């Protein structure tokens, strides 16, 4: 019998586990990219994966992860906000116990640029949910970020990348063969979003990951100054879910995005 790991939530939104399975398949289909947890089966209340035996990461495995992540990103997506290939249901962001809705589209580009997509489909709806927990200055800073995004002030020449979408350290499992992706919020987006997420809560050997990544794909000038911009959406989600110190972090990220 194949060793298995079962994720279960009887109260999960409809299509939650189907969306995750589709994301794992889409990300894992990239030859030379980061491998993903293998789906055995899923239904409306659970997802069964092949069990992963974890080991501590090394600098070498972290660098290889960066190389493979660049390959995954370069596989691309049909549009900013595009759902995984073959998925026509909703998207989700956040933990198993409290997933938040995350819009995805079927490969069209209604907003025309990453900045407009990020402003309309990510920052604005999440900021509305987080608003009661933000200060007046914090709400104003987020509005200013949205305005600059809509104007294209943060856009680069990057095409839509194939993103994990929730790439914090807890969603990378380390094995004897290297990093493996789990728990995606997969969609087409900006490659800097995944990289900023790696840095948000600490990631082992992050410098080596970035060295490996940039050996395959150079980042657009000024990417370091946009880290807070890309971290703003997940931080607002944490404000919605948990409040507390995440409010200060979100407001600081908004302020840093405006310092260019």
- At 107, is the pLDDT very low, low, confident or very high (cuts 50, 70, 90)? confident
| Chosen CATH of 54-257 out of 3.90.1200.10, 3.40.50.920, 3.40.50.1370, 3.30.930.10 | 3.90.1200.10
In the chain, domain spans: 54-257
Q: What is the pLDDT of residues 127-155, one digit of tens each?
A: 999 999 999 999 999 999 999 999 999 99
Q: Report yes or no: 200 and 169 within 8 Å, Cβ to Cβ.
A: no
Q: What is the pLDDT of residues 164-183, one digit of tens each?
A: 999 999 999 999 999 999 99
pLDDT, mean of residues 225-233:
97
pLDDT value at residue 260? 66
* SS3 sequence of 13-78: CCCHHHHHHHHHHHHHCCCCCCCECCEEEECCCEEEEECCCCCCCCHHHHHHHHHHHHHHHHCCCC
Q: With the C-alpha atoms ordered 191, 197, 199, 204, is the resulting torsion angle positive or negative?
A: negative
The reply to whether 183 belongs to the active site is no
Q: Given 15, 153, 166, 208, which residue is catalytic?
A: 166
pTM for this prediction: 0.96
The number of CA neighbours under 13 Å toward the Cβ of 84 is 25
- At 109, is the pLDDT very low, low, confident or very high (cuts 50, 70, 90)? confident
């Amino acid at each position: 019998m194949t060793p298995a790991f079962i994720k279960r939530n009887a109260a999960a939104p409809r299509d939650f586990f189907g969306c995750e399975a589709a994301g794992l398949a889409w990300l894992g289909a990239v030859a030379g990219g980061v491998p993903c947890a293998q789906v055995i089966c899923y239904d409306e209340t659970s997802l069964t994966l092949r069990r992963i035996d974890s080991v501590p990461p090394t600098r070498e495995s972290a660098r290889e992860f960066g190389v493979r992540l660049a390959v995954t990103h370069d596989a691309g997506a049909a549009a900013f906000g595009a759902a995984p290939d073959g998925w026509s249901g909703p998207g989700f962001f956040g933990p198993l116990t409290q997933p938040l809705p995350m819009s995805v589209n079927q490969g069209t580009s209604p907003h025309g640029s990453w900045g407009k997509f990020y402003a309309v489909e990510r920052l604005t709806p999440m900021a509305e949910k987080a608003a009661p927990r933000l200060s007046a200055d914090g709400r104003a800073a987020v509005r200013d970020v949205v305005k600059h995004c809509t104007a294209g002030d943060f856009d680069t020449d990057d095409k839509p990348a194939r993103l994990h979408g929730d790439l914090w350290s807890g969603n990378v499992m380390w094995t004897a063969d290297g990093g493996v992706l789990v728990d995606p919020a997969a969609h087409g987006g900006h490659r800097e979003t995944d990289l900023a997420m790696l840095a948000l809560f600490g990631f082992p050997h992050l410098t080596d990951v970035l060295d490996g990544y940039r050996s395959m794909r150079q980042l657009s000038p000024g990417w370091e100054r946009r880290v807070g911009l890309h971290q703003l959406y997940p931080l607002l989600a944490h404000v919605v879910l948990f409040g507390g110190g995440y409010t200060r972090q979100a407001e600081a990220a908004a302020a840093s995005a405006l310092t260019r």
